[in-house]
Amino acid sequence: MWKYQRIGLLGRPNSQSVLNTIGRLWQLLEQQGLQVRMHDSYAQEMPEQARGALSTAKLGAWADLIIVVGGDGTLLGAAREFATYSVPLLGINRGRLGFLTDIMPDEMAEDVLAVLQGHSILEDRFLLQASIRRQGVELYSGLALNDVVLHPGEAIRMIEFELWIDEQFVYSQRSDGLIVSTPTGSTAYALSAGGPIMHPGINALVLVPMYPHTLTSRPLVVSGDARIRILIGQDNPVLPQLSWDAQLQQATEVGDEIHIRKLPHRLHLLHPERHNYYDICRRKLGWGQKLGQR
């Protein structure tokens, strides 16, 4: 009857609404006779349910499905943690936007049980792997589902860098930075900076300059398999920062190289059968309805 029988649970910490939803979800799953394990980050907040809690590595290897309770930011973090495992993720929305966590709490029981029975849509999304290298030595590496962003940090100062794609020089630029976004992230920070919306099934990256000091710089869409290299210029009054999904951040230095490429592993993201990407865009971005429905 059940396509998924070993269910892992995790959510946004320090949120009473998330705790309440996880508690209801735990009860629902146990009533169906399913095996349920909590991520060990909830060991203190939910001690009874967290008995037998598992680390990320153990949960990723054990679970058939991981249900993430929170907002899109919570799912971004879970995506980075579980990207190298084959386990799919399903999002329950306890946040604001809900592009990725698209099941609402009041529809949770019906939708989750339907997904567990196999009535769902499975999407594959790719992540980016970005590393900082100094004099040829990799100092830091991280993953991003939405975007990798080079920016000046807290200072309002322009930074200088060179952009290379597949080892071909593209341009040097003075600007507030550069957003390298996946299709998933094209409705996030890249959209706010004037980038295009890309359907999540497209194998492409978009590079969006942030307030460039030129009249001719525009967003650039390239192959998702392209290898991006950014060289930090010599004339930088501040140390540029690199961020992954706006959740992880690391400082760079003059002469550092940032290498960005697609992660070989793909994220498996589950949705209810009624999921429609364009409907989400209409509701979340305020697009117009059909003329006869006004």
pLDDT of 201 reads 94
pLDDT of 250 reads 97
Categorize the per-residue pLDDT at 154 as very low, low, confident or very high, splitting at 50, 70 and 90.
confident
Q: Are strands 89-93 and 65-70 parallel, antiparallel or unpaired?
A: parallel
Residue 147 in domain:
yes
Residue 281 in domain:
no
Whether residue 24 is predicted with pLDDT greater than 70 in this model: the reply is yes
Q: Which 8-state DSSP code applies to residue 197?
A: P
| 249/221 same-domain check | yes
Does 165 or 42 have the greater pLDDT score?
Answer: 165
pLDDT of 294 reads 59
Which tens digits make up the pLDDT trace of 113-137?
999 999 999 999 999 999 999 999 9
| 251/142 same-domain check | yes
Question: Can you tell me the distance from the alpha carbon of 26 to that of 24, in angstroms, rounded to the nearest whole number?
Answer: 5
| 133/114 same-domain check | no
Question: Can you tell me the distance from the alpha carbon of 63 to that of 52, in angstroms, rounded to the nearest whole number?
Answer: 13
| 35/111 same-domain check | yes
Phi and psi, residue 273, nearest 5° = -60, -30
**DSSP for 231-277?**
EE-S--SS--EEEETTTEEEE--TT-EEEEEEEEEEEEEEEETT--H
Categorize the per-residue pLDDT at 81 as very low, low, confident or very high, splitting at 50, 70 and 90.
very high
Question: Can you tell me the distance from the alpha carbon of 249 to that of 227, in angstroms, rounded to the nearest whole number?
Answer: 21
Q: Give percent above pLDDT 70 in the chain.
A: 98
> What residues act catalytically?
72
| 12/89 same-domain check | yes
Range of the domain at 16: 6-118
Residue 284 in domain:
no
Residue 283 in domain:
no
> Which of 6-20, 36-50, 73-87, 139-153 is the least confident region?
36-50
Question: Can you tell me the distance from the alpha carbon of 116 to that of 65, in angstroms, rounded to the nearest whole number?
Answer: 9
Categorize the per-residue pLDDT at 32 as very low, low, confident or very high, splitting at 50, 70 and 90.
very high
Structure tokens at 245: 């999904």
| 138/171 same-domain check | yes
| pTM of the complete model beyond 0.85 | yes
Question: Can you tell me the distance from the alpha carbon of 35 to that of 294, in angstroms, rounded to the nearest whole number?
Answer: 46
Residue 277 in domain:
no
Residue 112 in domain:
yes
Q: Which residues pair with 230 in a beta bridge?
A: 163, 258
**Any long-range contacts for 136-140 (C-beta under 8 Å, 24+ apart)?**
140/250
CATH number where 62 lies: 3.40.50.10330
Q: Structurally, how many domains does the chain consist of? A: 2
| 96/154 same-domain check | no
In the chain the beta strands, taken as DSSP E runs, fall at: 6-11, 35-38, 65-70, 89-93, 120-134, 137-144, 147-151, 159-165, 168-175, 177-181, 204-210, 220-223, 228-232, 241-244, 248-251, 257-272
Whether residue 30 is predicted with pLDDT greater than 80 in this model: the reply is yes
Residue 282 in domain:
no
Residue range 226-254: average pLDDT?
95
pLDDT of 15 reads 86
Structure tokens at 99: 């592009």
CATH number where 231 lies: 2.60.200.30
Sheet containing strand 204-210, edge to edge, reads 220-223, 204-210, 177-181, 147-151, 241-244, 248-251
Phi and psi, residue 119, nearest 5° = -90, 85
Residue 97 in domain:
yes
Whether residue 69 is predicted with pLDDT greater than 70 in this model: the reply is yes
Domain end point (choices 73, 99, 118): 118
Whether residue 97 is predicted with pLDDT greater than 90 in this model: the reply is no
- Side-chain half-sphere exposure of 187, counting CA atoms within 13 A: 18
Question: Can you tell me the distance from the alpha carbon of 240 to that of 258, in angstroms, rounded to the nearest whole number?
Answer: 11
pLDDT of 242 reads 98
| 137/242 same-domain check | yes
Structure tokens at 53: 């809690």
Contacts of 67 (CB under 8 A, 6+ apart): 7, 8, 9, 10, 25, 89, 90, 91, 92, 112
Categorize the per-residue pLDDT at 293 as very low, low, confident or very high, splitting at 50, 70 and 90.
low
Which tens digits make up the pLDDT trace of 167-195?
999 999 999 999 999 999 999 999 999 99
| 177/70 same-domain check | no
Whether residue 50 is predicted with pLDDT greater than 80 in this model: the reply is no
- Side-chain half-sphere exposure of 219, counting CA atoms within 13 A: 20
| 144/226 same-domain check | yes
